[in-house]
Amino acid sequence: MRGKSLCLGLLSVCTVLIAICNQPGLTQGEIDFEQIAEEAIEEEASDIERRREYIEWSLNHEKRVFNWHHFSSVFIFFVVHFIILLGLYFSYIQFRYSINNKGMDRTPSTMKVGHSEIEISSSIIGLLILVVSLAFFYLYLENVYPVQILPIRDISLEAQVEASE
């Protein structure tokens, strides 16, 4: 790790040195090697600071994304359970209504669906609501709720330098 950092530092010093030496009209006595070294060190320090700022921003952004995901998943969890309980309650009401009307001469309530006028009686409506509620809950558990554990990232500066190369 340190060898790569040293090579990068020497490379930046050589780059600055070549750029200064290639300026027209300079003689060998006019080249200030201490100034070149200071400029290279400042450039390297500036680059390290920019990488640190980026890593810090990236981690803060990741935290905000995970916080939002946590909040939205908790909200969706409660909404789904409310819908499921509402569906179970409606199916209970339909079953109770069909049992209470079994001995009476009243006609059961029906629901007409589509162009071909399919009629569904109240006891079937309760069963249909129950099946749809449970299917919705199954799809929620299967597709939305699973938790995936992310691998731990190495956020050290050396790892960032290696990844950028």
Of residues 17 and 96, more confidence is placed in: 96
Highest mean pLDDT among 62-71, 85-94, 113-122, 125-134: 62-71
pLDDT tens by residue, 14-70: 666 666 666 665 555 556 667 777 888 888 888 989 999 998 999 899 899 989 988
- Return the structure tokens found at 10: 């020497």
pLDDT at 164: 59
For the cut 70, the answer to whether the pLDDT of residue 125 exceeds it is yes
The whole-model pTM stands at 0.52
117 Rama sector, left if φ>0, alpha if ψ -120 to 50, beta otherwise: left
